[in-house]
Amino acid sequence: MTSFLPGLLKNNSVVNYRCSCSKLSPVYRQYFCRYCLCLRCWYCVSHEPDSFFCGNCLESMPSTEAKMKRNRCGNCLCCPVCIHTLSVRATSQTIRDATDPTKNITKKQYYLACAQCRWTSRDIGMADKPQSSGLWQDPENQHLARIEELSEYYQSVATAERLEKERKKVSVRRRSLTMYDRQTGRRRSSFMSSLSSLNLSLSPSVQPPVNAPAASSLADITPLPEEFYTVAMEIGDSTTLLQRHAAPERQPTSIRDLQPLHRQLVLRRNSRCRKCEHNLCKPDYVPSSSKFKIELLALHHVPEIKIVHGYNAIGYNTEERVVLSVTNPSDQSTSITLEPLSNRELNDVTATIIPPSLQLQIGAKDDMAEFDDVVDDEKAVKDDPDIVVFRKTNRIHVVTMVTAHKCTGDVIVALRISYNYTNTATALQNKGESPPAVSQLEQSLIINLGQVQV
């Protein structure tokens, strides 16, 4: 079986659906907004940060703590050479007891080791610790004081600018006539009422920003030491650019100066429809869970069309039989109609497809069907074998005829599928008083059937 991963990850699928914004992407990469009743692709949703967690210890962290720790886990350390998570290894050391020289005590000492590149904390001269966690200290950042000074200065400048803007808004409001206080019904001056609502101090000028000392330029630059010209460089001793920039505050040039790094946190996203602002996808708070609190995925609401394996390569100007599979994702049965689309409606179409012209019924999704051996012949739909070659619960295989019109390149056809959609969102809102609304929806899609055979 050829790997399906490239299509899954790179939006490089054979069957692509057209989103409401006219961009094409696979159905498993899209969302379905059941309030707007249309597909939303990756670019039609707004992605918001939902929760942070460490990918190694799977501990979640609130966003304020993540911001304070600069999106790094406090407990998990990474190898500075290969960025793989370090594991703590224990060794035992026998030393003479201080109180009784004849006895020996076995002490456990811990050190960090990388299972991928075999780097250890002993390589940089870090002493073994008596405890497995909590004692691995980060080296001091000599630039920290200067960075904090500058950051305080810029924060005070930003506060001063914001207060200045508020002041200008107040002076604009002064021009309006006296207004009534909504609560007491009395007239009051607009100026005083605006000031009291803003809680500004009545001092004439805003407090000046904290001045940070300016950076000083160097007049004398120390020349390069003689070793750079006379001693041959040891390439094995110098760090790569990636290793250097992984610790930007120190940027060590020698591998002996590398220190373990804290592991970067993983961010879970929350997707929201840009038009109606409803949440389309909200992950579970627990990091080790792959479930979702809200999951409005296109695959669960839109019929999925796939090509059935085993069709002949399509030749130029010859009609070939291609079987498509249509799957109904909902737990209500639906009826679908397939129509071909021309080049005027979708670009890059290089072949025509003739799907069956009649309306086709597809059963509801039934999870228990695979355990049910009894087949009810009376309820079974009788299909024309030239149109529907296979039917099982919520899936049918439909015969189409494809003719390529270009002698080079890929055979690309376009289809429109119309289907009945049962909207359970409105039923939930009315608390079950009204039956769910059934609407007729349409989706356009493009299918790539491979290279044309000359």
Partner 1 sequence: MELGDVKYSRADFIETASGNKVSRQSILCGSQNITLNGKTVIQRDCVIRGDLANIGIGRHCVINPNTVLRPSFKKFSKGVSFFPLHIGDHVFIESDCVISAANIGSYCYIGKGSIIGRRCIIKECCAIAEGSIVPPETVIPPLSFFSGTTSAPYEELPECTKDLMIDITKNYYQHFIPS
Side chain identity, residue 454: V
For the bound state, the minimum distance from the C-beta of residue 57 to partner 1, rounded and expressed in Å, comes to 8
Least distance to partner 1, CB of residue 14, Å: 7
> Is residue 40 close enough to count as binding partner 1 by CB under 8 A?
no
- The whole-angstrom separation of Cα 26 and Cα 37 is 18
- Among candidates 291, 243, 287, 250, which has minimal Cα distance to 73? 287
What is the nearest approach in angstroms of partner 1 to the Cβ of residue 440? 24
Residue 295, both tokens: 């999951």
> Residue 83 interacts with partner 1 (CB under 8 A)?
yes
Residue 100 interacts with partner 1 (CB under 8 A)? no
* Residue 319-338 contact track with partner 1, rule CB under 8 A, x = bound: ------x-------------
Please report whether residue 156 would count as binding partner 1 according to CB under 8 A: no
Partners of 51 in the β-ladder: 268
Per CB under 8 A, the list member of 292, 293, 381, 407 interacting with partner 1 is 292
How far is Cα 247 from Cα 243, in angstroms, rounded to an integer?
7
Q: How far is the CB of 18 from partner 1 (least distance, A)?
A: 18
Specify the stretch interacting with partner 1 by CB under 8 A; choose among 50-58, 129-137, 211-219, 342-350.
50-58
Q: Which of 64, 92, 203, 205 binds partner 1 (CB under 8 A)?
A: 92
Q: How far apart are CA 214 and CA 385, in angstroms?
A: 84
- Taking residues 159 to 188 in sequence order and writing x for each that binds partner 1 by CB under 8 A, - otherwise, the string is ------------------------------
Helix pair 190-198, 144-173: axis angle to 10 deg:
160
Could you give the count of Cα atoms lying within 13 Å of 315 in the half-sphere of its Cβ? 3
Which DSSP helix (H) or strand (E) runs through 419?
A: strand 410-423
The 110-129 site mask, x for binding partner 1 (CB under 8 A), equals: -----xx-------------
Among 200, 212, 266, 387, binds partner 1 (CB under 8 A): 266
Q: Tell me: does residue 56 bind partner 1 (CB under 8 A).
A: yes
What sign does the CA torsion over 241, 242, 243, 244 have? positive
Vertex 318: Cα angle to 317 and 319 (nearest 5): 125
Contact residue for partner 1 among 190, 264, 420, 424 (CB under 8 A): 264
Read off the DSSP letter of residue 343: T
> Which residue stretch of 61-69, 305-313, 334-342, 348-356 sits at the interface with partner 1 (rule: CB under 8 A)?
305-313
Q: Check residue 307 for interaction with partner 1 (CB under 8 A).
A: yes
Taking the C-alpha atoms of residue 322 and residue 354, their distance in angstroms, rounded to an integer, is 10
Cα–Cα distance measured from residue 241 to residue 257, given in angstroms and rounded to the nearest whole number: 14
User: Under the rule (CB under 8 A), what is the footprint of partner 1?
Assistant: 1, 3-5, 8-9, 14, 28-29, 53, 55-58, 78, 82-85, 87, 92, 115-116, 264, 266, 281, 287-290, 292, 295, 297, 299-300, 306-310, 325, 370, 397
